[in-house]
Copies of this chain bind each other. A is one copy, B any other.
Amino acid sequence: MDIKDVVLNIAKKAKESSYYIAKLSTLDKNNLLINMAEEIEANIDYIQEENKKDLEYAKEKSFSNAFIDRLLLNENRIRSMAQGIREIAQLPDPVGEYIWTKKRPNGLQISKVRTPLGVIAVIYESRPNVTADAASLCLKSGNTIILRGGKEAINSNCAIADILQKSLRKFNLPAEIVSIIKDTNRQAITALVKLDQYIDVIIPRGGENLINAVRQDAIIPVVFHAKGNCHLYIDKEADIEMAHKITINAKVQRPGVCNAIETLLVHKSIAKKILPDLIKKLKELNVEIRGCQKTKNIVNNIKEASEKDWEEEYLSLILAVKVVENMEEAICHIRKYGSLHSEGIVTNSIFRINKFTQEVDASAIFVNSSTRFNDGNQFGLGAEIGISTQKLHVRGPMGLEDLTSTKYIVLGNGQIRE
């Protein structure tokens, strides 16, 4: 069968099965999720066997050790995958929530109610635990999911999807509530993102190339989670010790994630006081510094930052440093190079806190705290499917509520429009 027909077929069945999951009670969804967690733990050997195939392929292809580590599913990781599903079962069900109800002068009672989105296609790369995470978030919010993972984890992904489908069948539900596209050809994605009759939302998770390709081709609405080129601005009225602590945490605690900082902006009148010590500490923590000319004038032996450094998301132990004339320059720099993800300021000035939080546009602005807190669990929103850097529908951590739409339910007793 042609790849387009395969994908079309999957999408059609996903749509049909979406009516079943949409009307399931919270209790039934929770029981299903708990069973899925149990089934995953009961099949640790099977998952590991299938995972081994992916690991062997990765070794054959001489992928990096870091990459291979991301692929690996050992017993601990599989158990924590199951634990993640149990935690999602415990989160409140967003579906059916009455956001508000009001009575109109003509007696109509209008309510805005949360509903599932319908069919969500998640396109992702590498880590196979996304299969279980994304599926359980979509199920809990009453949605059908179409999974399309990367080639490198195909055996692990299929094994996990298999197990989830087994649970669905056990509960007399269509297995297609969790669908997986086994064809890892790019054409499958191109076909998928055009099927707006059957799929309601596309969520791409992965590198910029993947996200851009999806945005180019899609006619279905996309919620994307793009890169984080995040900044920390140290104001002239900053607490020096706090600025040290936050800079180091935001850069070093986990440099490979999107909410770590890539560029430090420092007000010129505090630069001489803060930079020598701070850069010394960062270097001791193996951070490579790339500074502007003014930074180089203050601290010796620093590589010069080029235009490319302001643009780059290093995702590693490199930090660009720029001394700015004033906060306006910092804001302009963030507007030019920022990716609307996480932006921080250290200052004791209430005037500049107000200006910075109002004028800097990003999913989250951190005042006197680390950008590393931009995360669903840290915000108390529960598990997330990603951090949205777009402005429509959801911005920042995307949790269960954001996997829903709404509808108006209007109750009358014969009202007509005059």
Contact = CB atoms under 8 A, between A and B. Distances in A.
Nearest to A103: B380
Nearest to A402: B392
A23 interface: yes
A276 interface: no
Contacts of A405: 391-392, 395
A287 B162 CA distance: 54
A390 B223 CA distance: 13
A190 interface: no
Interface residues of A, number: 68
B373 A410 contact: yes
A368 interface: yes
Interface in A352-409: 353, 357-359, 361-370, 372-374, 378-380, 390-393, 395-396, 405-409
A interface SS class:
mixed
Interface stretch (A47-55, A179-187, A242-250): A242-250
Given A359-B23, A361-B118, A408 B379 contact: yes
Interface string A187-221: 00000000010001100000000000001100101
A368 B413 contact: yes
B367 A409 contact: yes
Given A222-B221, A391-B405, A414 B365 contact: no
Given A102-B380, A104-B380, A117 B408 contact: no
Nearest to A367: B411
Chain copies in complex: 2
A101 B359 CA distance: 20
Nearest to A365: B409
A285 interface: no
A77 to B, nearest CB: 21
B361 A417 contact: no
A223 B391 CA distance: 12
A414 B222 contact: no
26 contacts: A19-B335, A108-B369, A108-B373, A221-B221, A221-B392, A223-B392, A249-B417, A361-B407, A362-B407, A364-B407, A365-B409, A367-B409, A367-B411, A368-B413, A368-B415, A369-B411, A369-B412, A369-B413, A370-B412, A372-B416, A373-B415, A374-B408, A393-B393, A395-B405, A395-B406, A396-B408
The 3 tightest CB contacts between A and B, nearest first, are A369-B412, A249-B416, A391-B405
Interface of A: 19, 22-23, 96, 102, 104, 108, 110, 115, 117-118, 196, 200-201, 215-216, 219, 221-223, 239, 242, 245-246, 248-250, 253, 335, 353, 357-359, 361-370, 372-374, 378-380, 390-393, 395-396, 405-417
